[in-house]
């Protein structure tokens, strides 16, 4: 930039570059357009979205996949309010991300300035750290601290305010920018669990009748796959991944008990939680889904997670892969293959897989499809490896979770802990940016897709060859067929779950520069999936029409079933 006039935007871009940021997700406007342009000049990829929600979801997913905070850039006021959806989702999922947003000139605070909002205050409840740099010269420190705080300890979201007058301030020269840089964030410190607690945990596992290992997405984030494989294969203890931990060990591993989840939870007497929290996804660790006598051992980076929800836990606090290694080294004897718990689970897995296979055979070539028959066709055509599944919706996501096996770590993203609809497009875009060589297969409900459908244009513009399958049942959970829809509409009693039948999501893809197909039966779906898989230069969407009212009762009883009332 020698000879050019430098501004705060070059300082911000140089700081991000210095901190190793290679991509930013966001939407520009006054005053951050200069920041985005400076970042592009500095060699940082900028992916411009259509709504800040999706941009923030993308940044959070990029943080999860890459293991370093994803960065989102927005305008202030409404931009930050929209991005808060992604901030909270990131924080609840424990994924690292940093939101940078423009804000009013510092001498106009409180005057009703353009898009004025106290953004630091707005972000504070949902972030680990939210700040406005005290001066122009403090920008490198504030950004480094936000990146460091987002990634260290339990990962989460951070916020940095970028006042318009700082962005526009003149900078003397490149040397000044260099001279005020803070060293790049170092890898998070690694710490081990208390050896005495490791010993107690090993003894407890050893004395268990029915031991079980539950793997959460915290283990996926911490890249604990090799250590877990070693622990599981040394001890022969069965394991159960939570939805986003699928693939740390392959779903086809003989010790994987996903298909026997209810039996595994109910019968386990000692459970090793690895990066998994006892929240709603694990029924808070309570009866009746778990045995009343169950004992938990918990490996987590966060001490405050221990003994949560009334569970008495043996706490193994530390860096997950390192702590798993500590346990593996503590000589837990191997369960014999003939062990009754292993046999029970294996038999339940076999029966449930056979039941699912029978369901997937329903309906002939030209019949209207349901979730199972549609997934059967899709599954047969997907490559065996290098696939990343993104999924959202209720039935769509729930049934897809068990229908599609995952074989590689961090290759499945979904609505996750916060059960957020609308994350799909942002997650798919971030996945393709992070994994350019993998096939991103997004399996989304028609309602869920509608939250961020316009991001099709973002994906097509960025030439991302996503394969999006909209599972279209005309509604939220279920819909109405054409006739019922028309008569309900006529009578002004359209159910709250209804969406318009025959919505041509495939044409939206075409209109946005991608490719679209409408598939109403197995044959059409097969042809569409083959054509989409052969496309590598733009975004593909298949509008998979399934029976609208085929399932009035939700299949995801594991989410909704309540524990026994407490006295």
In the chain the first and final C-alpha atoms are separated, in Å, by: 70
Shortest reach from residue 395's CB to ligand TPP, in Å: 4
Tokens of 230: 């070693």
Closer residue to ligand TPP (CB): 54 or 473: 473
Closer residue to ligand TPP (CB): 421 or 540: 421
90 binding ligand TPP? (CB under 6 A): no
477 binding ligand TPP? (CB under 6 A): yes
The span from the CA of 559 to the CA of 538, in Å, is 36
* 3-state DSSP assignment of residue 158: strand
The span from the CA of 386 to the CA of 409, in Å, is 11
Closer residue to ligand TPP (CB): 291 or 497: 497
Torsion of CA 530, 533, 535, 539, to 10 degrees: 120
> 181, 473, 521, 547: which one contacts ligand TPP (CB under 6 A)?
473
Cα angle 514, 515, 517 (rounded to 5 degrees) comes to 145
Shortest reach from residue 530's CB to ligand TPP, in Å: 24
424 binding ligand TPP? (CB under 6 A): no
Shortest reach from residue 562's CB to ligand TPP, in Å: 18
Shortest reach from residue 56's CB to ligand TPP, in Å: 13
Chain-centroid distance, C-alpha 494: 33
The span from the CA of 21 to the CA of 248, in Å, is 26
- Three-class DSSP labels, 395-445: HHHHHHHHHCCCCCCCCEEECCCCCCCCCHHHHHHHHHHHCCCCEEEEEEE
The span from the CA of 540 to the CA of 36, in Å, is 28
Shortest reach from residue 547's CB to ligand TPP, in Å: 11
Shortest reach from residue 500's CB to ligand TPP, in Å: 12
Shortest reach from residue 375's CB to ligand TPP, in Å: 12
Shortest reach from residue 369's CB to ligand TPP, in Å: 13
Shortest reach from residue 554's CB to ligand TPP, in Å: 8
- DSSP code per residue over 348-379: HHHHHHHHHHHHHT-S-TTSPB-HHHHHHHHH
471 binding ligand TPP? (CB under 6 A): yes
Closer residue to ligand TPP (CB): 38 or 476: 476
Closer residue to ligand TPP (CB): 536 or 553: 553
Closer residue to ligand TPP (CB): 290 or 371: 371
87 binding ligand TPP? (CB under 6 A): no
Angle between helices 52-66 and 78-93 (to 10 degrees): 30
Could you tell me whether strands 170-171 and 6-7 are parallel, antiparallel, or unpaired per DSSP bridges? antiparallel
Please identify which residue in the block is written with the tokens 């300082």: 11
Angle between helices 33-41 and 8-18 (to 10 degrees): 50
With CA atoms as reference, report the closest residue to 466 among 487, 450, 443.
443
Closer residue to ligand TPP (CB): 274 or 519: 519
Show the binding pattern over residues 426-445: x = contacts ligand TPP (CB under 6 A), - = does not. Answer: -------------------x
Shortest reach from residue 421's CB to ligand TPP, in Å: 4
Show the binding pattern over residues 185-214: x = contacts ligand TPP (CB under 6 A), - = does not. Answer: ------------------------------
Question: Which helix H or strand E contains 313, and what residues bound it?
Answer: strand 313-317
Shortest reach from residue 207's CB to ligand TPP, in Å: 41
Chain-centroid distance, C-alpha 304: 22
Q: How many residues does the chain have?
A: 567
Shortest reach from residue 424's CB to ligand TPP, in Å: 9
257 binding ligand TPP? (CB under 6 A): no
| Residues 364-423 interacting with ligand TPP (rule: CB under 6 A) | 393-396, 419-422
Shortest reach from residue 561's CB to ligand TPP, in Å: 16
Closer residue to ligand TPP (CB): 76 or 548: 548
Closer residue to ligand TPP (CB): 7 or 51: 51
Closer residue to ligand TPP (CB): 115 or 370: 370
Size of the site for ligand TPP (CB under 6 A): 16
Shortest reach from residue 558's CB to ligand TPP, in Å: 15
476 binding ligand TPP? (CB under 6 A): yes
Shortest reach from residue 18's CB to ligand TPP, in Å: 36
The span from the CA of 51 to the CA of 26, in Å, is 8
Binding region for ligand TPP (CB under 6 A) out of 67-75, 206-214, 291-299, 470-478: 470-478
| Residues 145-174 interacting with ligand TPP (rule: CB under 6 A) | none
The span from the CA of 192 to the CA of 213, in Å, is 19
548 binding ligand TPP? (CB under 6 A): no
For 220, 240, 267, 474, the CA distances from 95, given in Å and listed in that order, are 11, 21, 32, 33
- DSSP code per residue over 23-83: EEEE---TTTHHHHHHHHHTT-EEEE-SSHHHHHHHHHHHHHHHSS-EEEEE-STHHHHHH
Tokens of 153: 């300890």
Helix ranges (DSSP H) in 462-546 = 482-490, 505-511, 522-533
Closer residue to ligand TPP (CB): 321 or 479: 479
527 within 8 A of 503, measured Cβ to Cβ: no
Nearest residue to the partner ligand TPP, using Cβ: 445
The span from the CA of 55 to the CA of 86, in Å, is 8
Closer residue to ligand TPP (CB): 88 or 282: 88
Output Rg (C-alpha) for the chain, integer angstroms: 25
447 binding ligand TPP? (CB under 6 A): yes
Closer residue to ligand TPP (CB): 53 or 538: 53
Which residues here bind ligand TPP, judged by CB under 6 A? Answer: 393-396, 419-422, 445-448, 471, 473, 476-477
């Amino acid at each position: 930039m020698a000879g050019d006039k430098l501004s705060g935007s070059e300082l911000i871009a140089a700081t991000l570059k210095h901190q190793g940021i290679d991509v930013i997700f966001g939407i520009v406007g006054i005053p951050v357009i200069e920041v985005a342009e400076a970042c592009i000049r500095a060699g940082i990829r900028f992916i411009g979205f259509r709504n800040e929600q999706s941009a923030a979801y993308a940044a959070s997913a990029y943080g999860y996949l890459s293991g370093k905070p994803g960065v989102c850039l927005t305008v202030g006021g409404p931009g930050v309010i929209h991005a808060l959806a992604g901030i909270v989702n990131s924080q609840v999922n424990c994924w690292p991300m940093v939101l940078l947003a423009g804000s009013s000139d510092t001498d106009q605070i409180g005057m009703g300035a353009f898009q004025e909002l106290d953004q630091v205050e707005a972000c504070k409840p949902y972030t680990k750290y939210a700040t406005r740099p005290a001066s122009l010269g403090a920008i490198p420190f504030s950004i480094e601290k936000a990146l460091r705080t987002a990634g260290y300890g339990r990962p989460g979201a951070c916020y940095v305010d970028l006042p318009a007058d700082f962005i526009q301030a003149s900078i003397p020269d490149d040397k000044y920018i260099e001279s005020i840089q803070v060293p790049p964030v170092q890898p998070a410190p690694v710490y081990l669990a208390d050896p005495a607690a490791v010993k107690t945990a090993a003894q407890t596992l050893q004395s268990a009748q029915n031991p079980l290992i539950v793997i959460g997405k915290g283990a996926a984030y911490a890249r604990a796959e090799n250590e877990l494989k070693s622990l599981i294969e040394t001890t022969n203890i069965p394991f159960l991944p939570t939805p986003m931990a699928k693939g740390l060990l392959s779903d086809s591993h003989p010790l994987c008990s996903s298909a026997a989840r209810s039996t595994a939870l109910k019968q386990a007497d000692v459970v090793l939680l690895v990066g998994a929290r006892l929240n709603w996804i694990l029924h808070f660790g309570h009866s009746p889904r778990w045995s009343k006598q169950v004992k938990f051992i918990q490996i987590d980076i966060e001490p405050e997670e221990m003994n949560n929800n009334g569970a008495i836990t043996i706490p193994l606090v530390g860096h997950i892969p390192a702590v798993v290694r500590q346990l593996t080294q503590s000589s837990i004897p191997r369960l014999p293959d003939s062990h009754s718990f292993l046999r029970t689970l294996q038999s339940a897995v076999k029966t449930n897989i056979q039941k699912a296979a029978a369901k997937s055979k329903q309906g002939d070539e030209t019949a209207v499809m349901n979730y199972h028959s549609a997934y059967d066709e899709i599954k047969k055509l997907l490559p065996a490896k290098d696939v990343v599944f993104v999924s959202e919706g209720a039935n769509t996501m729930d049934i897809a979770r068990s229908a599609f096996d995952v074989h590689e770590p961090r290759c499945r993203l979904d609505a996750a802990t916060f059960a957020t609809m609308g994350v799909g497009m942002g997650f798919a875009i971030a996945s393709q940016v992070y994994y350019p060589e993998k096939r991103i297969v997004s399996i989304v409900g028609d309602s869920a897709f509608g939250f961020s459908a316009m991001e099709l244009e973002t994906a097509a513009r960025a030439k991302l060859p996503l394969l999006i399958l909209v599972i279209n049942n005309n509604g939220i959970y279920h819909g109405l067929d054409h006739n019922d829809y028309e008569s309900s509409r006529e009578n002004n009693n359209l159910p709250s779950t209804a969406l318009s039948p025959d919505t041509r999501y495939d044409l939206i893809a075409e209109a946005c520069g991608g490719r679209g197909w409408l598939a109403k039966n197995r044959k059409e779906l097969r042809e569409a999936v083959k054509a989409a898989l052969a496309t590598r230069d733009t975004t593909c969407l298949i509008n998979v029409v399934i029976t609208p009212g085929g399932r009035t009762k939700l299949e995801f009883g594991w989410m909704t079933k309540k524990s026994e009332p407490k006295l």
